[in-house]
Amino acid sequence: MKVFMLGWEFPPYISGGLGTACHGLTKALSDLGVKITFVLPKPIETQTPTHVQMLTPQHCRASKTVTQTTETSQELKNVQFHTVSSPLQPYTTPQQYQKRLEEIIRQKQLLSSQSQQMLDQWLEQEIEGLSVGPGQYSGDMYTEVHRYAAAAVRLALQQEFDVIHAHDWMTYPAGIAVAAVTGKPLVVHVHSTEFDRSGEHVNQMIYDIERRGIHAAAKVIAVSYLTRNILMTRYGALGEKIEVIYNGVEPEDSNRISAQQVGIRSDEKIVLFLGRITMQKGPEYFLMAARKVLEEMENVKFVMAGSGDMMHRIIEMAAQMGIGHKVLFTGFLRGEDVNRVYQMADLYVMPSVSEPFGIAPLEALNHDVPVIISKQSGVAEVLTHVLKVDFWDIQEMANKIIAVLKYPPLQMTLREHGNFEVRKLKWSGAAKKCLKVYQEVTQVAV
């Protein structure tokens, strides 16, 4: 099986859980013998050693391969990466954009009449979309999505594959375009929806792209039944078209390390928030619960690891509450720094307002850290040995934090049973289910 995979981020070029999920899934698929061509919108600016093969479009046209290897070079042996050169020249008018795509299409001499018809429909939708404008999102983000789509088509015409796999809305226009010019089946993977990110105040342009991608796909992968329900009720997707495949996690060493070097006393407990500091993740509820905890316990520090559009507001909120000295903001963490912060933590809290899945709780349990999660999360469907609370119930959240920190037997039980439970949630299981989806859509396509 050969897969043409479209993603917006991949380690080390990540901004959140999407990149982590793409890494875990591609590695597990590679282990199953699935050959993957992964297209990224970002350039590889330096010759950083990596365990995968990196190719740019320029290298493809010249039929050259740039291979970078380390002692872990076999980790993704069946994955080949393509990165779109940046900055690409923007298509400033619909006519210019259509002209560029038509040039790309002419490179493909054998297009079926059905594929040509699909392409014409896609072009019509793209031109209509360009005339609408980017809405509240920056024009750069909007045009980048469509530049990426054009570049993905160019790369697809040089590749052989059986199925297209597109991750989240930024890649859906590319997935639709590649499906149109190749006639290959499209699978879209929904890690998050606009309703998760923005609540009821959705960006219409993004919602429209998500809806088009979901309806254009032969099959839709949702990361939870919570997400599946949103796709059915908000996007009009058919239930039989949606396959729920939970995310996974890979085993990690869980050795504890000292937190004194970052200004935390040895007798202080550490409660961790790790995620984007945005409305979706509920950082303000974390702070409100923190204040209630500190009214009962003095020896606690709250660590907020991440960045986002609410960062300054949350810092000001902590100061106004009078708990600024008890809250440590680390900024965005990646790689080994993420492992370190988990190893320091006594408790992890995910107070998300709407969380399609939530990989971070799995990572915390993997590091023997007890977990409190909001009931409004997909991961709550698969975890039983964690404490669950409504994101808005800050009193109950505080009570549960205090209980874990004050009663070692409870903390130990959550650690041991939670770590045992998370060992069953592996990326290998998710990969096998994805492979089954690929086989289903390719059989239908034939």
Q: What pLDDT sits at residue 349? A: 98
- Between CA 302 and CA 270 the distance in angstroms is 6
Q: What is the bridge-based pairing of β-strands 79-83 and 186-190?
A: unpaired
The full set of domain ranges for the chain reads 2-248+428-445, 260-422
Q: What pLDDT sits at residue 285? A: 98
Q: What pLDDT sits at residue 17? A: 81
- Between CA 21 and CA 40 the distance in angstroms is 14
Tell me phi and psi for residue 274, to 5 degrees: -130, 115
Q: What pLDDT sits at residue 58? A: 43
Bond preceding residue 12 cis, omega within 30 of 0? yes
Q: What is the pTM of this model?
A: 0.81
Q: What pLDDT sits at residue 133? A: 41
Classify residue 262 by its DSSP letter.
Answer: G
Q: What pLDDT sits at residue 99? A: 58
Q: What pLDDT sits at residue 84? A: 74
Q: What pLDDT sits at residue 409? A: 95
- Between CA 196 and CA 223 the distance in angstroms is 13
- Between CA 345 and CA 271 the distance in angstroms is 6
Classify residue 353 by its DSSP letter.
Answer: S
- Between CA 307 and CA 331 the distance in angstroms is 5
- Between CA 354 and CA 168 the distance in angstroms is 16
- Between CA 432 and CA 28 the distance in angstroms is 8
Mean pLDDT of residues grouped by 10 in the chain (446 residues)? Answer: 90 74 93 92 50 41 35 63 58 48 54 57 52 43 82 90 96 94 96 93 92 97 97 97 95 57 70 95 98 97 94 93 95 88 96 95 95 97 96 98 96 92 92 97 78
Burial annotation 373-406 (CB, 10 A radius, 16+ → b, else e) = bbebbbbbebbebbbbbebebbeebbbbbbebbe
Report which of 346, 355, 344, 339 is spatially closest to residue 388, judged by C-alpha positions.
355
**Side chain identity, residue 190:** V
- Domain 2-248+428-445: assigned CATH number: 3.40.50.2000
Extract the runs of DSSP E, i.e. beta strands, from 233-333: 242-244, 269-274, 300-305, 327-331
Burial annotation 197-220 (CB, 10 A radius, 16+ → b, else e) = bbeeebbebbbbbbbbbbebbbbb
Contact 255, 340 (CB under 8 A): no
Return the CATH superfamily for domain 260-422: Glycogen Phosphorylase B; (3.40.50.2000)
Tell me phi and psi for residue 53, to 5 degrees: -90, 130
